[in-house]
Amino acid sequence: MTNPSPTANSIKSGRWVRSTCKMCLHSCSNMIHVTDDGIINKIEGDPTNPSNNGKLCPKGNSAILRHYDPRRFKEPLKRTNPEKGPGIDPKWEPISWDEAFEITAREIKKSLDEDPRKILPSLEDFQKMHIWFWPLAIGCHNFYQSGGTMCGGAYHPMNGYIHSAFGCANDAKYCNYWINNGTGDGFSSHLHAAAQSNWVAKARIDRGMRVVSVEPRLSIGSAKADEWVPIRPATDRHFALGMSHVLVNEGLCDFDFLRKDSNAPYLVGPDGYFVRDTEKQIYVWDSKDNCAKLWNDPTLENDNLALEGNYTVNGVECRPAFQVYKDILAECSPEEMEKITTVPAETTRRIAREFSEAAKIGQTIKIEDGRTVPLRPAAYNYYRGAQGRKLGAQTNQAFKLVNMLIGNIDTPGGHMGVTIDDGQVDNNHVEMGECGQMLGTPHQLGHMPEFAYPTNEYHLASHFPNGVNAPHLNLLVHENREYWGVEFTPDVIVNCHSNPVWSIQGPREKWVKFLKDMRFIVCVDVVPNEMTDFADVILPSSDVLETWNCTMIEPPHTEGQCFRQPATDPIYNTKSEEEIFYELSERLGCLEAYNSVINMILGFEQKPELQLDLDKKYTDREIARRKGLLWNGKDIDWYMEHGHSVTERRLDKWYRPWEGMRLNFYIEDMLKERDGLKAKMEAMKTPYINDWPFDDFQPLPTARLDTLHTLPEEYNLYAITFKDIQLNFGESLSNPWIRDIVFRDPVHTGLLINTATAAKMGFEAGDVVKVESPYGHLYGRLQTTEGMHPDAIGVSNALSRTKSENTYVAMSGGHFNDMLPYDMENTDAASGQPETTTKVKLTKLDDWPDFLKQGGSIYDFVDELETKKGKGGQH
Amino acid sequence: MANENQIVGDTFKVGYRFQRYWDTSMAAAFFCCELGAGLFLLSQYFDFALGMLVGLLFAGVGKPYFHLAHMGVPSRAWRAMLRPDRSWISRGLIGIMFFVGAGVAYLLEFQFGFLTGIFGEATGGFFYQVALVISFAAGVLVMAYQGFAMAHSSSFALWNTGLMPISSIAYAVTAGLASILVLGWGALAPETSKMLVNFTLVMLLVDLCVVMSLLHGAFHGTTGGRQSVDLLLKGVYATPFIGLVIAVGIALPALVLWLAGSSYAAVLLAAVSILAGFFTYRVLVFKAALYEPIISFKPRTANI
Amino acid sequence: MKRGMVFDLRRCIGCNACVVACKQENSLPDGVFFTKTLSEEYGVYPAANRVYIPTLCNHCEDAPCEKVCPSGATYTRDDGIVMVDDALCIGCGTCAVACPYDQRSQMDADNLKDGMYGGGNLTEFEKDGYGRWTPGTVTKCDFCSQRVDVGLEPACVVTCPTDARIFGDLDDPNSAPNKLIRERGGQPALAEKNTKPKVYYVD
Ligand SMILES: Nc1nc2c(c(=O)[nH]1)N[C@H]1C(S)=C(S)[C@@H](COP(=O)(O)OP(=O)(O)OC[C@H]3O[C@@H](n4cnc5c(=O)[nH]c(N)nc54)[C@H](O)[C@@H]3O)O[C@H]1N2
Ligand SMILES: Nc1nc2c(c(=O)[nH]1)N[C@H]1C(S)=C(S)[C@@H](COP(=O)(O)OP(=O)(O)OC[C@H]3O[C@@H](n4cnc5c(=O)[nH]c(N)nc54)[C@H](O)[C@@H]3O)O[C@H]1N2
Ligand code: SF4
Ligand code: SF4
Ligand code: SF4
Ligand code: SF4
Ligand code: SF4
Ligand SMILES: [Mo]
């Protein structure tokens, strides 16, 4: 009974195309099957890419349905209903591309000619930095997209300071003790989820790597961990400080590393700055000769560098940076920290000891490039959940320091810097800084604009010398323009591959008003979302299966370009983002500027033959071709055949690329940035100088509480949010296959609350509640679980999509981000990082609010699944 | 979320799942088949042509109608007979064909002398005997096979018991009795009717015992079986089960027949409630069947 | 040759990539799953945990579904794969009530007609793939028989990010699944049902 013609999709007659996934911002290599009839019917991972090893996550598997989504934008559209808002029919009218460009360029130009600052760009395709930086071509530094909002604000600058890299990850290849703090890395999110869970599963099972997960929620990572350590939300820095207290006070550190490879021995004066001689050289203390010497004194031996003690040098009282930290840590005993984190002191102590023991301090390993380097197979990993704090910079640094104390930075088995797009093979990301220190590079995405008061950027970018952009401040400024002294009014939004009205924090009502205040909004997108509800013109973008690209986007253990090529011609009247932005640039008269921006951003400047001619427009194919050439000199045919040029990271760039330099244990630059900013504010008589939170800048982390902990007591629960491997933010919920699996998983079908907490507060599973923070609220249904910290309530991103034109996307009871603040009290002055957790109170409701009674909500869908009717019978 | 007794619908949780492939129309098919065979066999015994005819209509028309309605690909229904070597469904289907064929032949001869008319006295008489034997044997099979088919399923403790075919036969006979009492009221001799009333009373007692034994067995069989019983006695199906299957289907007719078994109105009332109870029973044993949680590794490893 | 699979519960992260890969490979309509990864929470806070349990047809050696199938649509191949011939199945559902693992799915006519986005708006993908199914049949995982026949691993196995699904020949004592079963004490689901699954779990 064999079938003559195959019915299984992957073996039907057709061809395979090697390409790259983009169902999240990362870039797993895939193979796309196209039938002889031109139908894309199967996508598999490409086993030749050592990153994802032929694996794809559920999102990667779902790309086909994005491609064939009947709700895709199929042609340029013009709004005919002037009224805008969630769920209001824009009454789209199809128009020609020419008309669409005509209108868009005309409307942008109207404002651009007046003042480039009137344009708010929101461009968020992580795989296409050259689109991201388009605003530079029109001389605009505004920023309305959400990148950095929740995740990278403090994280990227701190990775820049410590590793001179964009991201960070643990070295799964050798690590044996993996602390997982507020991240899905290796299990569900963060870097290349499919790839990293493959690497981490190998480490866990094949090598027996121990995983300890510190999280308020029994996440996937926590469930797979050998130990789940529940922690009160927004207190992770205090846990790390408690661990550091133990490491430091029990002498469990890698002191050799601290002496030789970090600036921990550098002497710090009472003003926090290093103690220097007249030549600006920094002093250290030689404990053998019992005197101060300059850091580069040839008579110094590493072993004699004092890490502890109080000294006087040239009349200045000073301490080694390590001692400064030790003094801070004196007040951070695990017992003290327990009061904040709820993590039992003995647990913290035990983990600190296990961590240090697993680090095998003193051991070395000979790696394939012939070097013998320290082996430190223990590492502390963290991300958005743990570090998205008001005091984000300090929080990130606290985690980094746990790693640094055991000497595992960029070391086999340790905590690694992960570069984003290296441009070309030969580039190194590390440079020597001052006095033997590695140069801290907090501006991984380019420098912030020069400080100005009144501000030139609506989101105050220039006020954050270290930061990544903080788009939530657009609302802060918009609401109180006089206070901030802005002299311009943005009225045009150029939005591409971004859903800011979903992804930025602050109440939706206010954002809706903000958007309605705009004169013109253009959206370049594939499918409708909350943002396109506000568009005046839609420029429909071709999708990932129809276009060309070349990207390297923070692959954890690998490097090289992932190549995208069309599996099919565009099936609708759509264009690539490149074509769209070139066309707009030409019509706006900034084509030359745009080409220079691309030459700079993509690094084409490095090779004259790859430089774009300034007066030409290029296709996505040509940009991709040049990126491939830039990386390894291979032309597009090679990439079309091979699909990628990914190899494991070269050892010289991966392990201790800073050899011979000292890492920033103590970040003196923080003080320089603080004082520089203060001086500028003083000079420009910035009226809010006294209210600016300069205290956030610290060279070492402190135990200061984040602002949210001081909210009134009636807000008695911490609300947290999370992504998971099925979800790309909330965006993938428009995909039937994702919807199929997400809402069958109990973690995504209700507001997660600890069973005992619910009982204590008089709630039951299934109760419909209003969840309120001081800033906003949402509605939902309680789901009790043993897998939540008693002080926390968890809201999956799956429960966050609000009413939009995309009727396939089931509506939730509001949005988590509505409950988050958007003020400076909750924004880190040292990085721009906003607070991503809040405190809430619950009120039980008798019934759903009216807007959820009309059916079509997630809860209706879940009810349907839970009481699934059989064929003909009712169950 | 941790709930030992969770019925999980179509979600990806570990837990009990409802049987949902055999639905109400399948229950109606079973009902028709069992009622029809029971009525026919009793009518045959009491030489009651109308009862035979109605019995054959239920088994030969009602049953296929509902069965086809249930079937996913009715156009291929004939394929259901292909594996009598292993499938009770095939056996039952073949049995029904024999039963209906032989039953019709028997009835035609009984009423119109059809066989003897065509084949002559001797041959026709022989065929008459053959039809009698085949219709009887096939009738018994038809009464029981669905019970066998269900008993064969190891999925549900509620079904997976030798009592299933017994319950089928018991209910078939009871339903047959109830129907013949109504149809034959006046036509059958009064003492026959009286005897049938008593017989029905006995059968109701038997039904009660069988149903209770079934529940008892399921309750002590598996955790899923226990849940099924809970559903029937305490849960969502308690009202129809206790109300219709037990009270209306067994207790009420027993009481009515016992107190007023000689009144036609009482017999009619009893018969209607018996059939209602029986049909409800058929529906509920489908609905209350639960797949066991596919697997649970909780006890073995603390950290997976 | 006896094909079988082992699920490594320590590896599985409950991502359900397998589910989507299977739906993709087999053009399965809404609501139909040949494999599901279930999750179960256990224990009491803070000693609580969750386990992810992949499931698919166990390709039972003593397959109850096959025994009850009146049409002969369900049969076992020489390599041990329990197959359903869509062209023969009458959709009686007997296999479904006989399978203790609830691994059978009926191809709902409405879902095939309506499509995943509803309203009969079939995508090109669905138009291309749904043709293989007869509305009303009751079918299941076939270990990607067509793929394994040409030397490929099943679609769900290939995609699984953690390599939690280990596929191979149970007749070969040195096959990857056999080694795992031996070393880590593999056990089948619902062993008490005596169906002799060719799918094992290690934890
Ligand atoms: N699958 C998937 N992968 C992704 C993305 C995606 O959308 N989907 N997005 C990409 C992007 S842009 C980013 S920034 C990264 C983000 O990657 P992650 O940081 O790994 O992802 P999140 O789920 O946002 O947050 C991680 C965890 O923090 C927990 N958490 C919340 N509050 C707290 C807290 O106060 N303390 C602690 N310890 N934990 C807390 C949440 O429960 C969650 O499990 O992932 C990238 N990769
Ligand atoms: N509550 C909550 N809020 C969050 C987060 C969270 O976890 N929870 N995460 C935060 C983080 S870390 C980040 S980085 C941000 C991310 O925020 P966004 O970048 O705004 O993320 P998305 O929602 O994915 O929006 C991107 C949009 O791009 C469109 N798109 C998809 N593919 C293409 C394409 O090929 N071309 C074009 N032109 N468009 C395409 C989709 O319609 C999608 O809606 O959100 C932040 N906000
Ligand atoms: S992790 Fe991201 S890039 Fe990789 S398969 Fe999943 S969606 Fe695609
Ligand atoms: S698991 Fe079920 S469908 Fe699969 S072979 Fe066993 S009984 Fe048949
Ligand atoms: S539904 Fe199909 S495969 Fe199942 S028992 Fe009936 S005929 Fe056989
Ligand atoms: S083996 Fe093939 S058919 Fe079976 S579950 Fe996996 S992908 Fe689906
Ligand atoms: S793909 Fe693998 S890890 Fe993911 S749910 Fe399936 S078996 Fe588990
Ligand atoms: Mo992010």
pLDDT at A12 over 80: yes
Condensed to tens digits (0 to 9), the pLDDT of residues A142-156 reads 999 987 778 889 999
Q: Is residue A372 classed exposed, middle or buried when 0-12, 13-18 and 19+ CB atoms within 10 A define those classes?
A: exposed
Quick one: average pLDDT of B72-85?
Answer: 95
**pLDDT score at A4:** 67
Condensed to tens digits (0 to 9), the pLDDT of residues C151-200 reads 999 999 999 999 999 999 999 999 999 999 999 999 999 999 999 999 99
- CATH for A61: 2.20.25.90
Interchain pair A201, C11: CB under 8 A: yes
Verify that A233 and A313 share a domain, yes or no. Answer: yes
Model confidence band, residue B299 (pLDDT cutoffs 50, 70, 90): very low
Model confidence band, residue A803 (pLDDT cutoffs 50, 70, 90): confident
Condensed to tens digits (0 to 9), the pLDDT of residues A542-590 reads 999 999 999 999 899 999 999 999 999 999 999 999 999 999 999 999 9
Beta strand A364-366 with A283-286 is unpaired
pLDDT at B301 over 80: no
Within a domain: residue A697?
no
Verify that A62 and A81 share a domain, yes or no. Answer: no
pLDDT at A264 over 90: yes
Nearest one of B295, B297, B293 to B17, comparing CA atoms: B293
Interchain pair B11, A226: CB under 8 A: no
**pLDDT score at B298:** 54
pLDDT at A705 over 60: yes
Q: How many domains does chain A contain in total?
A: 4
Atom 8 of ligand 7, nearest CA residue: C12
Query: Which-ligand-closest: CA of C69?
Result: 5
**pLDDT score at B3:** 54
- CATH for A515: 3.40.50.740
pTM: 0.96
pLDDT at B296 over 90: no
User: By residue range, what is the domain housing residue A29?
Assistant: 9-67
Contacts of B254 (CB under 8 A, 6+ apart): B201, B204, B205
Ordered domains of chain B (ranges, CATH): 11-291 (1.20.1630.10)
Verify that A493 and A403 share a domain, yes or no. Answer: no
Within a domain: residue A304?
yes
Within a domain: residue A83?
yes
Q: Quote the tokens at residue A693.
A: 């939170």
Q: Quote the tokens at residue A676.
A: 């520089």
Quick one: average pLDDT of B23-30?
Answer: 95
Say which of B9, B19, B303 has its CB closest to residue A866.
B9
Say which of C42, C55, C138 has its CB closest to residue B72.
C138
Strand partners, A121: A494
ipTM: 0.96
**pLDDT score at A3:** 52
- Ion ligand 8 neighbours, Cβ < 5 Å: A 151
**What is the number of CB-based contacts under 8 A between chain B and chain C?**
157
One-character DSSP codes across chain B: ---TT-B-TTSSBSSBEE--SS-HHHHHHHHHHHHHHHHHHHHHHTT-HHHHHHHHHIIIIIHHHHHHHH-SSGGGGGGGGS-TTT-HHHHHHHHHHHHHHHHHHHHHHHHH-HHHHHH-HHHHHHHHHHHHHHHHHHHHHHHHHHHHHHHT-TT-TTTSSTHHHHHHHHHHHHHHHHHHHHHHTTTS-HHHHHHHHHHHHHHHHHHHHHHHHHHHHHHHH-HHHHHHHHHHHTSTTHIIIIIIIIIIIIIHHHHHHHHHTT-HHHHHHHHHHHHHHHHHHHHHHHHT-EEPPS---TTT-S--
CA distance C100 to B156: 7
**pLDDT score at A610:** 97
First to last CA, chain B: 18
**How close is the Cα of A503 to the center of ligand 8, in Å?**
10
**How close is the Cα of C99 to the center of ligand 4, in Å?**
5
Nearest one of A323, A168, A331, A346 to A241, comparing CA atoms: A331
Chains touching chain C through at least 3 C-beta pairs below 8 angstroms are A, B
- CATH for C105: 3.30.70.20
**pLDDT score at A365:** 98
Q: How many domains does chain C contain in total?
A: 1
For testing contact with chain C, the best of A197, A229, A735 (most C CBs within 10 A): A197
pLDDT at A11 over 60: yes
Inter-residue contact A26 to A53 (CB < 8 Å): no
pLDDT at A637 over 50: yes
Verify that A272 and A403 share a domain, yes or no. Answer: yes
Which residue type does B79 have? R
Helices (H) and strands (E) in chain C, counts: 8, 9
Helices (H) and strands (E) in chain A, counts: 27, 32
**pLDDT score at A870:** 44
- CATH for A852: 2.40.40.20
Verify that A112 and A43 share a domain, yes or no. Answer: no
Give me the percent of chain A exceeding a pLDDT of 90: 93
CA distance B280 to chain C (A): 19
Quick one: average pLDDT of C7-28?
Answer: 97
Verify that A176 and A285 share a domain, yes or no. Answer: yes
Verify that A516 and A412 share a domain, yes or no. Answer: no
Contacts of C6 (CB under 8 A, 6+ apart): C165, C166, C176, C177, C180, C181, C186, C199, C200, C201, C202
Verify that A535 and A581 share a domain, yes or no. Answer: yes
CA distance C85 to chain B (A): 13
Interchain pair A204, C11: CB under 8 A: yes
Give me the percent of chain B exceeding a pLDDT of 90: 88
Atom 7 of ligand 5, nearest CA residue: C89
**pLDDT score at A57:** 98
Beta strand C49-56 with C35-42 is antiparallel
Within a domain: residue A694?
no
Distances (CA, A) of A865 to A483, B273, B293, C20: 51, 35, 17, 18
Q: What residues line ligand 2, using a CB cutoff of 6 Å?
A: A 124, 146-147, 149-151, 384, 496-500, 502-503, 524-527, 529, 541, 543-544, 577, 721, 723, 728-729, 731, 797, 800, 816-817
CA distance A19 to A127: 13
Model confidence band, residue B2 (pLDDT cutoffs 50, 70, 90): very low
Quick one: average pLDDT of A49-78?
Answer: 97
Inter-residue contact A644 to A553 (CB < 8 Å): no
Interchain contact A869–B (C-beta under 8 A) = yes
Verify that A537 and A407 share a domain, yes or no. Answer: no
Condensed to tens digits (0 to 9), the pLDDT of residues A362-373 reads 999 999 999 999
User: By residue range, what is the domain housing residue C69?
Assistant: 3-202
Inter-residue contact A620 to A576 (CB < 8 Å): yes
Ligand 4 pocket, residue C35 CB under 6 Å: no
Inter-residue contact A503 to A143 (CB < 8 Å): no
CA distance A185 to A167: 12
**How close is the Cα of C89 to the center of ligand 5, in Å?**
5
Indicate the average pLDDT of chain B: 92
Indicate the average pLDDT of chain A: 95
Verify that A456 and A483 share a domain, yes or no. Answer: yes
Interchain pair A787, C121: CB under 8 A: no
CA distance B22 to chain C (A): 7
Model confidence band, residue A874 (pLDDT cutoffs 50, 70, 90): very low
Ligand 5 pocket, residue C82 CB under 6 Å: no
Quick one: average pLDDT of C79-103?
Answer: 97
**pLDDT score at A467:** 82
CA distance B217 to chain C (A): 17
Interchain pair C152, A726: CB under 8 A: no
Condensed to tens digits (0 to 9), the pLDDT of residues A37-57 reads 999 999 999 999 999 999 999
Ligand 1 pocket, residue A338 CB under 6 Å: no
Within a domain: residue A471?
yes
Quick one: average pLDDT of B42-55?
Answer: 96
Whether the CA torsion A380, A383, A388, A393 is positive or negative: it is positive
CA distance A243 to C149: 55
**How close is the Cα of B51 to the center of ligand 4, in Å?**
43
**pLDDT score at A151:** 86
Condensed to tens digits (0 to 9), the pLDDT of residues A458-490 reads 999 999 998 888 999 999 999 999 999 999 999
**pLDDT score at B237:** 95
pLDDT at A171 over 60: yes
pLDDT at A646 over 50: yes
